[in-house]
Amino acid sequence: MIEMIDRAKEIIQFQEMIKSWTRKELRTRYKGSFLGFLWTFVNPLLQLVVYSLIFPFIMKFNQENYAMFMFVALIPWNFFTASLQGASGIIVWNSSMVTKVYFPREILPISYTLSGLCNMIFSYMIVFPMLFVFRVSFTWNLLWLPVLFFIQTILCLGLTFIVCSINVYFRDLENLISVGVLALYFLSPVMYDITAIPSKLQKIMFLNPMTGLLVMYRDVTFKGVALDIKMLFISLVYACVICFVGWKIFIKLQKKFTEIL
């Protein structure tokens, strides 16, 4: 614990580097593309157009306003998957810097996670006007969104710590994560409402750290209902535990990064 406190103090001293790397990650996402940073807004908008065309007329889902029903859960889900898939190689990709320059290695996963958070927040600039277009009622419960952003960021940071550090030792992890994320997608309430699942199966699904968050995102944006405080507390504890364990794993494994890379 003392070691973690000392590392936290050191990371704070490198806060300017975190800001710089976060901006770098945001620029890198769309580097070389014609629209550049505008893809942050265009991409979710195009996704919504596709869902609006496919699901009501081809898939024939019974859920009213299904495009927005799915869209409000898909935005945070994209943040989650990016933290697993995209973050797995950030230490390896920056191996030259890791091996030649000293800085707290946590800066790389922290910066990547913060860039993912920024990207999700920018995507919500599409969500809000689309809620109005699709005639979804705005309620005061939308004010819970920053709390959900905070909890998910802690969760995603913990997962980023884990996958990027293990991937240095086991490079096949990136491919395994791709398969795992696909399976987890169908086990998460992105395309369907959690209430459509039998109660016994729901308990198993809540072992997935994103299940509670997706339910709450949909509650405050699409359904306009108040959060389940118990679910909120459990999700916070879940995220903090994963972040703590992930950081412990990262601290232990980063000691040999230079040697392996």
Computed over every residue of the chain, the mean pLDDT equals 82
Q: Which residue has better confidence, 4 or 114?
A: 114
Highest mean pLDDT, choosing among 11-20, 59-68, 125-134, 214-223: 214-223
Q: Which residue has better confidence, 78 or 155?
A: 155
Domain ranges of the chain: 2-260
Mean pLDDT score, 168-197:
82
pLDDT tier at 34, thresholds 50, 70, 90: very low
Concatenated DSSP letters for the chain?
Answer: -HHHHHHHHHHHHTHHHHHHHHHHHHHHHTTT-SSGGGHHHHHHHHHHHHHHHHIIIII---STTHHHHHHHHHHHHHHHHHHHHGGGGHHHHTHHHHHHS-S-TTHHHHHHHHHHHHHHHHHHHHHHHHHHHTTPPP-GGGGGHHHHHHHHHHHHHHHHHHHHHHHHH-TTHHHHHHHHHHHHHHTSTTSS-GGGS-HHHHHHHTTSHHHHHHHHHHIIIII-----HHHHHHHHHHHHHHHHHHHHHHHHHGGGHHHH-
Q: Which residue has better confidence, 253 or 38?
A: 253
